[in-house]
Amino acid sequence: MSRPVNEETSVGKRIGRLLQQYALRIAFAEGKVKLYDEEQANASARGSGVKTLRASISRNCWEVYAKNLTTKKNELEEAVKNALVGYSTKQRQVWFAYFIENKSSYEIEEQLSLNSRTVQRMVAAMKEDMDLKFDIRLPKMGEENFPKFSAKDLAEFLTAKPSEDYINGIKDALDYGIIDLDELDFDPDFQGFLDGKEGVKE
């Protein structure tokens, strides 16, 4: 007997949410790049070397972040394409409409001229099929995958008085596996920084 698939934790729904999150974060990061481009140009025009350098560093950080997230998004999209091999054109249309575009079975019925019960049966079958076929680990939304330290700890180690945007950028990088946690676990400077913070708290 097949196990029931929870609607909110099914692979298809998680993929849909992840792709939306990637797209939003990439757009945000690219917007930051443009803002820092302007800030860098203005600071340079005023002859402020320090502000020009700071803007340049921030701009490059956001650019790398956007590129890394774009790579992650492309990898996920490629994995989806591979997982959908063997589906008919109609099944792929239903899959994207339901899981990625978040349409109801009735909306899909109108869009693709299918009976809503047929759509519901196709979706149910594809939910379980995708759980079996999808072989890469998907990060869970809100998952804490850095138990030994917080995004704020790492941000404070990397820069003095980090802004809220910077901390959020670090958190996203941790959530989406862009930062190598194993490397941080064995970094003596970072571990010494954490030990010092713990000592202060005591």
- Please say which residue of 95, 111, 137 terminates a domain: 137
Please give the residue range of the domain that contains residue 73. Answer: 1-137
Q: What angle do CA 147, 168, 37 make, to 5 degrees?
A: 145
Residues 126 and 167 in one domain: no
Q: Are residues 88 and 158 in the same domain?
A: no
Residue 23 and residue 56 in one domain: yes
Burial of 193 (0-12, 13-18, 19+ CB in 10 A): middle
What interhelical angle do 164-175 and 11-45 show, nearest 10?
140
pLDDT of residue 54: 79
The verdict on 55 and 69 lying in the same domain is yes
Q: pTM score, two decimals? A: 0.62
Q: Which of 114, 137, 160 is where one domain is finished?
A: 137
Q: Are residues 133 and 161 in the same domain?
A: no
Question: Does residue 133 share a domain with residue 147?
Answer: no
Which residues have a Cβ under 8 Å from the Cβ of 24 and sit 6 or more positions away?
A: none
What pLDDT is recorded for position 182? Answer: 66
The pLDDT of residue 200 is: 39
Task: Determine the pLDDT at residue 74.
Answer: 92
* Residue 92 and residue 8 share a domain: yes
Q: How far apart are CA 168 and CA 103, in angstroms?
A: 30
Question: Of 93, 111, 137, which closes a domain?
Answer: 137
User: Is the domain of 109 the same as that of 153?
Assistant: no
> Same domain, yes or no, for 194 and 105?
no
Judgement on whether residues 72 and 167 belong to the same structural domain of the protein: no
Q: Return the pLDDT at 70.
A: 92
Query: Along the 202 residues of the chain, how does pLDDT read in single tens digits?
Result: 333 344 555 788 888 888 888 888 899 889 988 988 998 898 888 888 878 887 887 788 888 888 888 998 998 889 888 888 888 999 889 988 888 888 888 899 888 888 888 888 898 888 888 877 775 555 554 444 444 788 888 888 888 888 887 887 788 777 766 676 766 776 778 878 888 775 433 3
Q: Quick one: 117 and 155 in the same domain?
A: no
Q: Are 191 and 154 in contact (CB under 8 A)?
A: no
Domain tally, the chain: 2
Determine the pLDDT at residue 180. Answer: 67
146 and 133, same structural domain?
A: no
What pLDDT score does 39 carry?
Answer: 87
